[in-house]
Amino acid sequence: MNSPSLHVADNFGDGTVAALMRTHDWSQSPLGHPDTWPQVLRTVVTLILNSKFPMFLAWGPQLALLYNDAYVNLLVNKHPSALGRPFEEVWSEIWNDITPIVEQAMAGESTYHENLPLTLKRKGYEESTWFTFSYSSIYDENGTVAGMYCACTETTQQVLATRQRKNEIEHLRQLFQQAPGIIAVLRGKDYVFELANDAYQRLVGNRELIGKKARDVLPEIEGQGLFELLDSVFESGEPYVGRGIPVKLRRPPAEELELYYVDFIYQPIRDASGQITGIFIEGSDVSEAVKATLALHESEQHLRQLANSIPHLAWLAEPDGQILWFNNRWYEYTGTTEEQVTGWKWTELHEPKYLPMVLSTYKRCLQSGETFELSFPLRSASGEYRTFFTRATPLRDEAGKIMQWLGTNTDIHDIENVQKELQAANRRKDEFLAMLAHELRNPLAPIGTAAELLGHSPAEPSLVKKASDIISRQVVHMTGLVDDLLDVSRVTRGLISMQMKPVDLAKVIEDAIEQVSPLIEQKGQRLEVRISHQQAIVDGDRSRLTQVVANILNNANRYTPANGHIQVTLTVDEGNCKITIQDNGIGIEAKLIPHIFDHFTQAERSPDRAQGGLGLGLALVKSLLELHNGSATAESNGLNQGSLFTVLLPLSLSCKEPEITEAPPQKSIDGALDIMIVDDNVDAAQMLSMLLAIQGHRTQIEHRGPAALRRLEHAIPQAMVIDIGMPEMDGYELAQRIRALPRAANTVLIALTGYGHSEDRNRSKLAGFDYHLVKPVVIKDLTAILKDIE
């Protein structure tokens, strides 16, 4: 139970622990009630309870613990149960650590300990702590050590803070040593090395520096001005900053001096009274950068000389994009001076609508380091904007740092225009291919229908004739398309053959009108022809000139509506013959005029393509006229305003058309012939066989060259129609083998092929062919050949 209030305890004071002592149950304590305590104990207890410094005492055999309010903060969770309990029980976790110290105190020997580490368990867990304290012996009335007294303070925070400071100092020391720049501290007027980091040691060749005078360990610096700078800083107190300062050093064990370049600062060190006590040195070895810069400057001069010799515009810029230099070609093109384009003033030469794009791309490349490539217009001295392809490449040092940008501007204005023309030509080609597919499909539809009709209908003569007429007309149309294509190809490659003779253009116009008149009559158009009374004789190929006029007339017919008007005029003036063909048709758009004589050019049409054609006629007109040293032009006031085509040809010097002799008539014979047809196209061979059979001839069919040779072993035909392009053995080889057979010497060989160039005809002749026909075969030509065979 609780002990009653004591008179002795009333003298302990008003503190928290004193109040606790007055109400504490002392029956369980080895100390007993305070009123039974000896006077020495009471006196010491009163002393510690009235102190603000952490104190405790341990009394008696069991060293019962008594403490003051300040000590409660060290007990934490051990208070208040620690009051009056044995010391060993209260601090059991450190008892083994402090037992020797306790024993010393109980033996009458006082001790002092500073920052003693102890692992306490006062908060429910173990923690590392440090304490500074002293143990002193307490003697009873008999002079015997009855206890011990301790004044203590916890220094855990101070110890940890000291350790942290040491760690930071060590970290700073390591940073100081490992810093990439040179760092050193010189003390006194003699400049004794107190500190020098690794970079400084490497620079001077890893010499023994610490504690030695700078003049003694770096004698080669004498006379280079550096010691004089140190003296100036020490005396004036003003720091000195050096950039790219050259210094010659001897790096042991080498004896020769090496040139280095250093950036550095000499900073005076002052003590508390403001007196200068030394010099702090910090800087960097910039030898590589300075040498690279010097080399770059030398290279730059060479580069400028080179850049001035090229036809391109060239320039150099800073890493941030500001222009350093333009070559002479730049100033010649722009008509500017150096003052007018320095910095960013060059932007004034850009076309305003493209400038934001140019600047954003340029600045992005400056930041990323990627090559700048862009095409944009630049204003010339005349005010014209021409397109340039600009490329700027970063010039880097060995470390990869951008030192400058080298740029060139290449004039691609003309190339760009050519590309646009090529793109337009390619577009026209694509449109032409689409038209070609359409035009070739058109005749195939009625041909296919007629073939189906012949295959499924009874053999009525009228029906057969109608279907045959349809097929013949469509074949003629397809042949015309193919002839146009071949003519363009021959003219383009210079393979067309020309029979140049004096020709009367009046007769040429007459021939052309004869060709086109059925089309004109079909649309009810009115054709007016005006021929000059002067004779218009030119040197040319009559058939090709007829083709020229017919193509233009056909064009007029095609684009002039029904009941329209077409006028053809022939005049002679100033050594030229002029043919004009004018219509009141749909006219020509202005944008189409410059391309009207290009290949595949046509006006836009509705999907029905009622006008038809491949867009090759006028291209042929131009090419054929150029072969005659002539020219053609087209004019129109716009859509629905009609068009005017003009043909100019130089007047012939003879001015007289020669007499034309008629060719002797071909021989013809009656009677059927034995004919062998050799063609790998089964349908083509069969149709030709049927046609020849209708004419009364006896036919045989083979689809391969070897099979034809085997049949010749049994019978020799009077004529053979042979396809050139066959597998296994082509027509050339077959003809050569037939000509090697003596019994086939009189057999007439007729080549049938899709190739009709002069070189193709020569090759077939060399192979042994007597005649050369181009697919699709014109039946009257084949019939004429067969009639001529005896």
Q: pLDDT tens across 167-191, in order?
A: 887 887 888 888 888 899 999 999 9
pLDDT at 436: 59
pLDDT at 118: 95
pLDDT at 537: 92
User: Could you give the 3-state DSSP secondary structure of residue 609?
Assistant: coil
Given its phi and psi angles, is residue 524 left (phi above 0), alpha (psi -120 to 50 degrees) or beta? left
CB atoms within 10 A of CB 25: 11
Indicate the pLDDT class of residue 494, thresholds 50, 70 and 90: low
What are the residue boundaries of the structural domains of the chain, listed by start?
A: 9-160, 179-285, 290-411, 417-476, 498-650, 674-787
Per-residue pLDDT tens over the stretch 128-160: 999 999 999 999 999 999 999 999 999 999 999
Per-residue pLDDT tens over the stretch 390-414: 999 999 988 889 988 988 999 888 8
CATH number given to 674-787: 3.40.50.2300
Nearest partner of 173 among 196, 191, 193, judged by Cα: 196
Pick from 154-168, 642-656, 664-678: least confident: 664-678
pTM exceeds 0.85, yes or no: no
* Per-range mean pLDDT, top range of 33-42, 112-121, 420-429, 445-454: 112-121
Residues 571, 573, 576, 580, CA torsion sign: negative
Superfamily of domain 179-285: PAS domain (3.30.450.20)
CATH class of 498-650: alpha beta
Nearest partner of 782 among 664, 665, 689, 658, judged by Cα: 689
CA angle 225/230/235 to nearest 5° reads 125
pLDDT at 603: 54
- Asked whether the predicted pLDDT for residue 6 surpasses 50, the reply is no
- Asked whether the predicted pLDDT for residue 456 surpasses 70, the reply is no
Residue 69 CA to residue 23 CA, distance in Å, equals: 16
CATH number given to 290-411: 3.30.450.20
Q: Do the domains 9-160 and 498-650 sit in the same CATH topology, yes or no?
A: no
Quickly list DSSP for 17-75: HHHHHHH--GGGSTT--GGGS-HHHHHHHHHHHT-SS-EEEEETTTTEEEE-HHHHHHH
Superfamily of domain 9-160: PAS domain (3.30.450.20)
Considering the chain, what is the average pLDDT of its residues? 85
Q: Are strands 771-774 and 748-753 parallel, antiparallel or unpaired?
A: parallel
Pick from 52-56, 184-188, 225-229, 416-420: least confident: 416-420
Torsion angle, alpha carbons of 254, 257, 258, 259, to 10: 170
What is the residue whose two structure tokens read 């190809």?
Answer: 489
